[in-house]
Amino acid sequence: MHYGEYLQLEKLLDCQDPESTKLGRTAHDEHLFIVIHQSYELWFKQVLYELTLVQELLGGEAFDERDGGKVAQALERVLVIMRVLIQQVDILETMTPMDFLEFRDLLFPASGFQSLQFRLVETGLGLRKDERVQLDQQDVHLRLKPHEQESLRAAYAKPSLRQSLDAWLSRTPFLDHGDFKFRDAYLEALGDMLEKEAEIIRTQPQLSEADKVTQLASLKNAHNMLDALLDDEAYDKLKDEGAWTFSRRGLEAALFINLYRDEPALQVPFKILSQVMDLDESMTNWRSRHALMAQRMIGQKVGTGGSSGHGYLHAAAQKHKVFGDLFALATFMLPRSALPALPKSLHEMLHYHYVSKMG
């Protein structure tokens, strides 16, 4: 096997065909523009490949806990790739707006909005069609070719990572163990903590009466959010209104895992939850960098795809978050010192047990 043949380098390195060169007026930076976007698509392909593995392992009716490490490894790889994608913006920004103008008009109506693979990444993570920001009063999928639109519709019909993660969390067995009810123990501990915080606010001499009223109202709102999170009927109503996307049972399990993350059996689940939040954050950072780059390159001009360009990208960065429910759990955290003690039998279930026979 030869290196070049294995990597099909002859084919790969012949894929750059600048439009400006075809017209006999080569714009030097068009070659960089093509290479950067081709590499983006290669990385998107790898991200989809890794997310497919995660879905295969996590999306079944039962999850083999021995596969937790594989899921975490695949998600870690996706996170590192996302950091590379963000860093590639730095390379692209070595091209100035004037350099871009040398070939920009030759790109119409091509646009990054037409990247099917990126739409598949978003959809695979869990971004629903009704959650997408419209692109100039149109669904963004209309920028795709008909067969690509069909591929995106097929992706919407499949379970997303958000749905599979929710189903996995909902099967968490530790929330009710004998006489121990996590919901009841947690509510009591949080109630004590919120009351202590309220007392600190009421007795704080540096705060004005108006500030005290505002902060106490914020605490009451947090308590109301918690009541809704732990009450089936109230939660279902909020979920129907779009306030939550996970099931109530799934979020309660995620809260339990976050609070008792130090228990050995919960360390891998906690890592997976942290990784999907990191991934959501990385996607937001990538969109934000992309939006700033577009503004830097074209200002208020219309994008090559006839779009509003920077405006859409900025709105997408703000709204296209998939795992916002997990971020919201920070509202309900407790300090370790205030955690309700677990029953001894449950504590033992969450630990590893080794039997060692010394000679």
Q: Is the pLDDT confidence value at 86 over 60?
A: yes
pLDDT in tens, 205-230: 898 999 999 998 988 887 777 777 77
Confidence grade of residue 59 (pLDDT, cut at 50, 70, 90): confident
Whether the per-residue pLDDT at 332 is higher than 70: the answer is yes
Name beta bridge partners: 181. Answer: 176
Give the pLDDT band of residue 265 (cuts 50, 70, 90): very high
- Per-residue pLDDT averaged across 337-345, rounded? 92
Percent over 90 (pLDDT), the chain = 63
Rounded distance between C-alpha atoms, residue 280 and residue 51, angstroms: 13
Of the pLDDT bands very low, low, confident and very high (cuts 50, 70, 90), residue 276 is very high
In a domain, 231, yes or no: no
Query: Which of the pair, 219 or 1, is modelled with greater confidence?
Result: 1
Angle at 170 between CA 166 and CA 171, to 5 degrees: 125
Query: 24: left (phi > 0), else alpha (psi -120 to 50), else beta?
Result: left
Q: Is 147 domain-assigned?
A: yes
pTM over 0.85: yes
pLDDT at 28 (0 to 100): 97
Whether 291 is in a domain gets the answer yes
Evaluate whether residue 257 is within a structural domain.
yes
How many angstroms separate the CA atoms of 100 and 246, rounded? 43
Phi, psi of 101, deg, nearest 5: -65, -20
Structural domain for 138, as ranges: 3-173+244-327
Whether 233 maps to a domain, the answer reads no
> Residue 2: CB partners within 8 Å, gap ≥ 6?
none
Question: Could you tell me where the DSSP H helices lie in the chain?
Answer: 3-6, 9-12, 19-22, 28-58, 68-92, 97-101, 116-125, 146-157, 161-170, 182-202, 209-229, 232-240, 248-259, 264-298, 310-319, 324-328, 344-349
Residue 231, Cβ neighbours under 10 Å: how many? 14
| Of 258, 248, 247, the residue nearest 330 (C-alpha) | 258
Structure tokens at 77: 């790889």
199 pLDDT exceeds 70? Answer: yes
For position 298, what pLDDT does the model report? 82
Phi then psi for 64, rounded to 5 degrees?
-75, 115
Sorting pLDDT into bands at 50, 70 and 90, what band is 78? very high
Do residues 125 and 161 touch, judged by C-beta distance below 8 A? yes
* C-alpha span between 215 and 190 (Å, rounded): 17
Task: Name the percent of the chain lying above pLDDT 70.
Answer: 96
Dump the DSSP string for 176-191.
Answer: EETTEEHHHHHHHHHH
Whether 211 is covered by a domain: the verdict is no
Residue 86 falls within a domain, yes or no? yes
More confident residue, 174 or 219: 174
Least confident of 230-234, 271-275, 315-319: 230-234
Can you give the pLDDT at residue 233?
Answer: 85
Q: What is the pLDDT of residue 134?
A: 85
Most distant pair of Cα atoms in the chain: their distance? 83
Peptide bond before 205: cis, by omega within 30 degrees of 0? no
- pLDDT at position 191 is 82
Instruction: Report yes or no on 251 lying in a domain.
Output: yes
Number of domains in the chain: 1
- The top-scoring range by mean pLDDT among 58-67, 115-124, 301-310 is 115-124
Q: What is the CATH number of the domain that holds 50?
A: 1.20.58.480
